[in-house]
Chain A
Amino acid sequence: MMEITNIPSFRNIVLISTFFILPLFSNAQNTNVEFNKKSFLKEDFPRLKEALAELDKGDKLFEMDTRALYLQALAHYNLANDFNPNNALLNYKIGKCLLYSLQKSTAIYFLDKAQRLNPNVSRDIDLLLGNAYHFNLDIDKAIEKYRKYMSGLNAEETKKFGKEVNKKLEECKVAKDLIEHPVRVRIDNLGSKINTRFPEYNPVINADETYLMFTSSREGTVDNGLDPMDLYYYEDIYTSLKNVGSWMETQHPGKPLNTEYHDATVWLSPDAQKLIIYRGDNGGDLLESQLKGEDWSEPIPFGKPINTKYHEASASYSSDQNTLYFVSDRPDGYGGHDIYSCTKDKKGKWGEPRNLGSDINTEYDELSVFMHPDGKTLYFSSEGHNTMGGLDIFKSIVENGKWSKPENMGYPINTTDDDGFLTISGSGIHAYYASFKPDGFGEKDIYMITFLGEEKPIFDANEDNLLSSTIIPFGVSTAPAIEVKTSELTILKGVVLDDVTRDPIEASIDIIDNVKNIPVTTTSSNKASGKYLVPLPSGLNYGINVHAEGYLFQSENVDIPPAKGYQEIVRDIYLKKVEIGKKIILRNIFFDFDRFTLRPESQAELTRLIDLLKEMPKLKIEISGHTDSYGSAVYNQKLSENRAKAVVEYLIAHGIDSKRLTYMGYGFTQPIATNKTDEGRQLNRRTEFKIMAK
């Protein structure tokens, strides 16, 4: 007697145990053709023998109960099916194998045929058909099959499997609603430069969407090895740059990012200088790498308490990179994989991971976490919450430490299959994700989602003859207003170059909230290109301190007004070498209007100057004050001198030898911009220092 083994615990497939399976030859229909000599002519016996051999091979793999082996079994079953397409059990098995493939909806044909050939082919045939219709978005039929399956369960079976089937029914309800109210998106394949016939997935992108990294299991990965678990090539990481709106040829960065193990992209910093990857050894761990010039550094494992012997496969930094959100299936969670956060202390040591709690985590899997650069919007995938089937992508916003109710991103972003690994661009207008679509290049491809916002209003065109006198022609009705929500984010970016040679410099860039006088973040420019990029919340005044070895530090001030959306500010920095006669403007030294009292916001800038003088004990400088042309020359000269003097006194009070310091007031005699505009005058009002000796 042939029996079908357990259906494995796998996403979207409900657990079934062997006692559901009935002998195939009971209640057999006359259209069912068994694989035996009675069913075939003598001349077909040799082919029958071959088909039985294929069946046997397939069954051995089928019974192993793993996704990869189901797919391998399918190849053998197809050969047997070529010989005898009317065997109920074989059609059932092919249908079941197909539910583990990318072409899940094709399972309907085989499962339906199996049921027609033998309605009792298996107790779970309605469940599997429900799954197949569910995947195919034929929700009403899925509900019908799930209910039929449910009605056939006895009390004990209902206790055991009822919850899971009810979840399927609930997913169908959600699916119907989401399909009926699709979110307005356009979804574009990233094209043949990125996607191939092999799987591409896990896209990560920098803030201005010019640099893409992703994972692919394609020919040409390191060692070109196949994973015996699924017969796919081992995963490697790939990159591409966007040039004039188009993605360029994919690059394989090689070692040390890619190894003979699975190497997969996990998270990329907005400035594309820091990367988190997943590596398949040691049970699956998270590692971090930095871009040094044009090369990625050796990835360093996060270590404990982030990496454990359990599975850590997804992570995302907060905007200040002091908190890491990551996924783990460690045992203290709510079930399956959960999302945790972990924060660094002042010394850079990771604290204890905290489970994000029941607002986010469920008894099912939560995976593929992504924290938007706005610092408060968390995207993740989950099999729980109100999923429409499999893993769906959700978003939740944290306000004052409280996570909002996860919101399903909606159809067609989410489908009844597994959806995850969504990366949102800095502007919030685009997202990148991987999906299998029939019109793609084969297997999973990477797609860009454009959020289209609210549905556009369709304007009626009406008019009336409102005035009876001939002097008034017409009146036309007016249209209603639309909201988009876009993110309130400012991207500060530019290059750091040598003032004379214009060579790129790897410089450290400190961003300070001038009002609170606290550091906001620190980043660095790329050694090869000098490029830097920092996402900043709008509505603050920032001091920017750029410093590199062998150069004088440079300070900039950026006042970012509250913005109603995404904006970019470009600020290029030119660093000067420490040479006698060089002058540096101290842009973050502030005085009260018409006074020479240093404002508290100047403290960070003055501290940097003190640090410089302490680092270079032979350095002698002249502090100079400058004004705009408003007021008399005498008044301005005095004011500028007093201000320069105030700076020198501050330096002396903080331990700098007075012999190293001189001060001068130049009034408005040395303008660096026109005094005819507000902007020009603002530039002219400044404090400088000049190298007198080194």
Chain B
Amino acid sequence: MKKLCWLMLFVLAFPEVYAQKSDTTRNIMTKGSALIKERLVMDTMQGSNHKTQQDAGIAYNTGLAYFEQNNYEEALKAFTKAIEFDKEFTNAYLNRGITLLELQKFRQAIDDFDQVINVSPLSSAFLYRARTRYEMGEVDAAFEDFSNAIDFDSTNFHAYFYRGGIFFENEEFDNAIRDFTSAINVKPNFAKAYNDRASSKRMLENLQGAMLDYNKSAEIDANQPYVYNNRGSIKRLLEDYDGAIADYNLAIKLKPNYFVALNNRGTAKMKKGDIQGAISDFTASIEIQNEYNYAYINRGNAKFKQKDFAGAIEDYDTAIKIDSEYGNAFVNRGAAREAMQNYEGACDDYKRAVKLGVEGAENYVKEICK
């Protein structure tokens, strides 16, 4: 589905590319992929040396057909063939680059996007190179390319959307909101951009603003489980635990194995005092993802509330076994050990929490360690 979206994006982003090859492409496309494949096979078998634009176009369209079918290896061959026929076929480079991106052959993809940009610096080429660079972990370079994409086309809402994501990651939430808003201005029914803007507002503690954006996102597209989960969490933060549980219910209904939402619903139930219900949710979350340390921690917390400190410690132990670098788990286990008057054990846990950078844990060490 995601790959199809990419292709759709490409089609939307490059109307000018299709215009250049309008005659041959349109004709071949109407004949369907069976004919295209047949022709390509024939050419190959006969060892044809027809390096004409027409042959390049056929190979190019064959590549598109394979791409539609998510057959990226064959698409790659076809786009490569098209380039062999026509070494100046810019769109073939671009689409081969996108195909390579799907195949996670990032360096080669970059070479193709470079080729396009050197010949004709298109906004979309910058967009895809940015995506590729992001996948390669080159976030600064990706950011630069998203910005280039916007410079070349101020209506490139995808570029705004993804650059907003980088701003978010860098905790520049005001800038993120600005980019998500630009994306929405270009594409008013951009449900994902509403979600992401909502999340940015949440990070700025504008919970009501976030709520409105999550509402809008859900209104545009009612089939996004994570939007309900996120909205549920806003309600949880606003201490509207019934509303939160209702939203988590929607998220879980859309995606029954959504262990994150199950864990969150458990927390909301805890806040309502429904400890048993919470334990059921945490357990369900663990059954789906048995390496989910958060659900073990929260189930430990529920047992802690029930004063079942030994049971809580057992869950904290598991959480720590899964992720021994998560400091809060040590604080929680330390508190449970403290409650059981195992002060030496609590001291060890608080010291570990200090090493893991838990704020305030130094004071716990001072207080509990002899």
Chain A residues with a Cβ under 8 A of chain B? 186, 245, 429, 450-453, 455-472, 475, 479, 481-482, 484, 486, 565
Contacts and interface: CB of A to CB of B under 8 A. Distances in A.
A86 to B, nearest CB: 41
Given A456-B338, A475-B199, A479-B328, A465 B226 contact: yes
A27 B105 CA distance: 102
B301 interface: yes
B122 interface: no
Contacts of B196: 466-469
A464 B191 CA distance: 17
A471 B165 contact: yes
B181 interface: no
30 contacts: A245-B370, A450-B343, A450-B368, A450-B370, A452-B338, A452-B367, A456-B364, A457-B331, A458-B301, A458-B304, A458-B331, A459-B301, A460-B267, A460-B297, A460-B301, A461-B319, A462-B264, A462-B267, A464-B230, A464-B264, A465-B226, A465-B229, A465-B230, A466-B199, A466-B202, A469-B161, A471-B134, A471-B166, A479-B331, A486-B366
A459 B297 contact: yes
A482 B180 CA distance: 37
A464 B298 CA distance: 15
Contacts of B128: none
B293 interface: yes
Interface stretch (B84-92, B108-116, B355-363): B355-363
B224 interface: yes
B324 to A, nearest CB: 15
Contacts, number: 121
A429 B367 CA distance: 7
Nearest to A482: B360
Q: Classify the interface of chain A: helix, strand, loop or mixed.
A: loop
**Main SS of the interface on chain B?**
helix
Interface in B300-358: 301, 304, 319, 326, 328-329, 331-332, 334-335, 338, 341, 343, 358
Nearest to B166: A471
Given A456-B364, A461-B319, A464-B230, 16 more contacts: A186-B343, A450-B343, A450-B370, A451-B367, A455-B335, A458-B331, A461-B263, A461-B293, A462-B263, A462-B267, A464-B226, A469-B192, A471-B134, A472-B168, A479-B331, A481-B360
A245 B344 CA distance: 14
A230 B192 CA distance: 83
Interface of B: 2, 134, 161-162, 165-166, 168-169, 191-192, 195-196, 199, 202-203, 224, 226-227, 229-230, 233, 236, 260, 263-264, 267, 270, 293-295, 297-298, 301, 304, 319, 326, 328-329, 331-332, 334-335, 338, 341, 343, 358-360, 363-364, 366-368, 370
Contacts of B366: 429, 453, 484, 486, 565
Contacts of A462: 233, 236, 263-264, 267, 294, 298
Nearest to B176: A467
Contact of B297 (A456, A457, A461, A467): A461
A479 B263 CA distance: 18
B168 A467 contact: yes
Given A458-B335, A479-B359, A482-B360, A463 B367 contact: no
Given A458-B332, A464-B229, A468-B224, A453 B203 contact: no
B109 to A, nearest CB: 16
Contact of A456 (B165, B199, B203, B335): B335
A471 B169 contact: yes
Nearest to A460: B267
A322 B246 CA distance: 69
B165 A467 contact: yes
Contacts of B162: 469, 471
A305 B264 CA distance: 70
A452 B267 CA distance: 27
A456 B224 contact: no
A554 to B, nearest CB: 34
Contacts of A471: 134, 162, 165-166, 169
B337 to A, nearest CB: 10
Contact of A468 (B169, B226, B326, B360): B226
Given A464-B226, A464-B260, A482-B363, A459 B332 contact: yes
Contacts of B202: 466
A451 B341 CA distance: 13
Nearest to B258: A465
A83 to B, nearest CB: 44
A613 B143 CA distance: 76
A213 B328 CA distance: 41
Contacts of A452: 338, 367-368
B147 to A, nearest CB: 16
B370 A453 contact: no
Closest 9 CB pairs of A and B: A461-B294, A466-B199, A459-B328, A465-B226, A468-B192, A461-B297, A453-B367, A456-B335, A482-B360
Given A479-B328, A484-B367, A464 B233 contact: yes
Nearest to A473: B169
A559 B41 CA distance: 88
Contacts of B224: 468
Contacts of B263: 461-463
A58 B199 CA distance: 81
A457 B304 CA distance: 12
Nearest to B299: A461
Contacts of B341: 186
B298 to A, nearest CB: 6
A477 to B, nearest CB: 8
Contacts of B191: 468
B55 to A, nearest CB: 37
Given A186-B341, A245-B370, A462-B264, A469 B229 contact: no
A458 B267 CA distance: 12
A259 B368 CA distance: 40
B269 to A, nearest CB: 12
Interface centre among A459, A470, A472, A482 (most CB of B within 10 A): A459
A515 B35 CA distance: 97
A185 to B, nearest CB: 10
Nearest to A448: B370
Contact of B169 (A464, A472, A486): A472
B301 A453 contact: no
A463 B264 CA distance: 8
B262 to A, nearest CB: 11
Contacts of B203: 466, 475
B219 to A, nearest CB: 15
A247 to B, nearest CB: 12
A186 B236 CA distance: 35
Contacts of A461: 263, 293-295, 297-298, 319, 326, 328-329
Nearest to B358: A479
A95 B259 CA distance: 62
A429 B369 CA distance: 10
A466 B199 CA distance: 5
Contacts of B370: 245, 450
Nearest to B134: A471
A245 B239 CA distance: 48
B166 to A, nearest CB: 8
Contacts of B166: 471
Contacts of A455: 335
Nearest to A478: B359
A486 B365 CA distance: 13
Given A466-B202, A472-B168, A450 B328 contact: no
A488 to B, nearest CB: 14
A470 B134 CA distance: 11
A162 B261 CA distance: 61
A460 B295 CA distance: 9
Contacts of A475: 199, 203
Contacts of A484: 363, 366-367
A120 B130 CA distance: 94
Contacts of B326: 461
A187 to B, nearest CB: 10
